Structure 1
Amino acid sequence: MTRELALLSNPVAGGGRNDAKVAAVAARLRQAGFAVRELVGVDAAHSSQLARVAVADGVDGLVVCGGDGMVNIAAQVLAGSSTPLGIVPMGTGNDTARALGLPLRDPAAAADVIVRGRTRLIDLARSGDRYFVTVLAAGFDAAVNEKANTMTWPKGQLKYSLAIVAVLKEFKPISYTLELDGETRRVEGMLVSVGNGDSMGGGLRVTHGASLDDGLLDVVLFTSVPRRELIKTYPKLFSGGHTRHPAYERHRVKRVTVAASGVVAYADGERFGELPLTVEVVPGALTVFG
């Protein structure tokens, strides 16, 4: 019996520049012997609906062409199921693909990972009935994400860099209350990030050292520092060099509650919700090709 894959894409993403890449991926999968059900979602809700119908129909895998937002949509559908997720990176950040070691700039090579058929289990982070795969940002990093999402130009990492400059002009330390596996901590900080994966925003390794399959969350706290110190430290997030700063703290937990006034958290690069939020790890909740 021919195996069937659902291939989910968004024609708006990339300004339509990804259409040819998606078509090439579909052709590569068919060449390998798969039946391919092409799904084109006009927005997040529509994409989710299409994916749920395909999975309910019993497809042998759900493949998303896009970035972390598309991966997040798929995670809501596939959490706890045995249907594997394939990722062909075509987004701005691609942090899930980066954590999985997938080819980031070669859709054909990413499709070949799916063709080989090897799968693995990874953890998900859950808050209420919603899941995320990479990092929940709840401070300066979230404010940068919020600002970047309002910018239509430039694209890619430069957009985040300009957003950093804009946010720094007005950013003030936040009063947090954290509950880390039942232990309460109150602190003034610049950011709190909850990592299932180790990066966000296209390779900012805020939760450097976090693993997708260790059954734990990495909660990173950066206590209050002068703005100029934050400016100096922020570029080190790409290498993990910020972990040597005296203001850096890392806690490894199974469950965390993050509370602060007036803070909107982001997860997988998408607006997630206002604090307080309680996040817990769900070990082995997602099957992925890779």
Structure 2
Amino acid sequence: MRILLIVNAGSGGVDDPDAIAAGLRTRGADVDAHPIDDLDDLRDAPPAGVDRVVVAGGDGSLGPAAALAAQLDVPLAVLPVGTANDLARALELPLDDLEAALDLAARGEGLRTVDIADAGVVPFLNTASAGLSVHATRSAVPLKRVLGPLAYAAGAVHAGVRAQPLQVRVAADGEPVFSGRAWQVIVAGTGAFGGGSKLDVARPGALDVAVLVAGPRRQLLRRAHGMRVGGLTEQDGVVHARGTTVTVEGPGDFNVDGDVRTVPGGRFTTADQVRIVVS
């Protein structure tokens, strides 16, 4: 098997990129390794003869790698070496066990199809959120190396106490969904985010959007519970819709799979699909 390996050396769990490539080679793979900064060049001049793309990185690395795998029409395998590893948790991939993850990446055959969403500046797989999530992510960044995934919980607590609602206008496929003040707006692909939180999504082929309407701050505890155990979109005060195109006007910044970015026009679309190795 010929593997195109993409490594984000900036992810916390990547101590030795060469060791990752060597681990795949010992499992019989022919490995062509690249740093994540090469992704644009690889998409402009895609290599021939690739059987599988393997990405070693956190959630923010997965969307761009998935777009390359979709372009090459090959499966994507994930080595979850980031902080939250939300996609890996959602798909029940090996966590905190690099050897098991390497086995799956090199030898796994079971595939699951996942939508690739486009935030204009970057493709993503899990979620793009405005409001509390941006505040929480910025608060969590300095805590990641000390607390790991718990940094997101600490950031969420800080956001719940200090953040203020946003004035937003949300539409799905051109139809108005919500206009007013909201604590948070979540645009979801897989719906996984925040080190174990989730938004229940109906089916592949479209984006889900959930608006946490502004109200008493004490309601955020119930929202947080819904994010952890499911059922958030069924709660009173949460507006839910689906569409292939979602626009969120008002906020400047979004948390896109763990990275805070400015999204042009607040416009999100379904872009493609990727087959992820899961077993």
Task: Report if TM-score (shorter chain) is over 0.5.
Answer: yes
SS of corresponding position for 1:138: strand
Residue 248 of structure 1: how far off its partner (Å): 1.8
Q: Is the 8 A contact 1:62 1:85 kept in 2?
A: yes
Give the equivalent residue in structure 1 for 2:6.
8
Of 224, 229, 242, 1:252 maps to 242
Q: Is the 8 A contact 1:67 1:90 kept in 2?
A: yes
Mapped to 2, the partners of 1:12 and 1:100 lie a distance apart of 23
Mapped pair 1:37 → 2:32:
yes
Of 102, 112, 115, 1:111 maps to 102
- Closer, same or farther: CA 55–33 of 1 in aligned 2, 3 Å: farther
TM-score w.r.t. length of structure 2: 0.86
Give the equivalent residue in structure 2 for 1:65.
56
Q: Is the 8 A contact 2:188 2:201 kept in 1?
A: no
Amino acid at match of 1:86: A
Q: Is the 8 A contact 1:6 1:62 kept in 2?
A: yes
Q: Is the 8 A contact 2:25 2:31 kept in 1?
A: yes
Residue 93 of structure 1: how far off its partner (Å): 1.3
TM-score w.r.t. length of structure 1: 0.83
Would you say how many aligned residue pairs link Structure 1 and Structure 2?
276
Of 116, 122, 127, 1:135 maps to 127
Q: Is the 8 A contact 2:63 2:116 kept in 1?
A: no
Unpaired runs of at least 5, structure 2: none
Of 122, 141, 150, 1:149 maps to 141
SS of corresponding position for 2:191: coil
Amino acid at match of 1:7: L
Question: Structure 2 matches for 1:26-105, cutoff 5 A?
Answer: 26-39=21-34, 41=35, 46-49=37-40, 52=43, 55-105=46-96
Residue 27 of structure 1: how far off its partner (Å): 4.4
SS of corresponding position for 2:181: strand
Structure 1 window deviating more from structure 2 (50-59 vs 191-200): it is 50-59
Mapped to 2, the partners of 1:120 and 1:236 lie a distance apart of 25
Residue identity (%): 30
- Closer, same or farther: CA 159–32 of 1 in aligned 2, 3 Å: closer
Structure 1 window deviating more from structure 2 (120-129 vs 88-97): it is 120-129
Residue 217 of structure 1: how far off its partner (Å): 1.0
Mapped to 1, the partners of 2:121 and 2:157 lie a distance apart of 34
Residue 57 of structure 1: how far off its partner (Å): 4.4
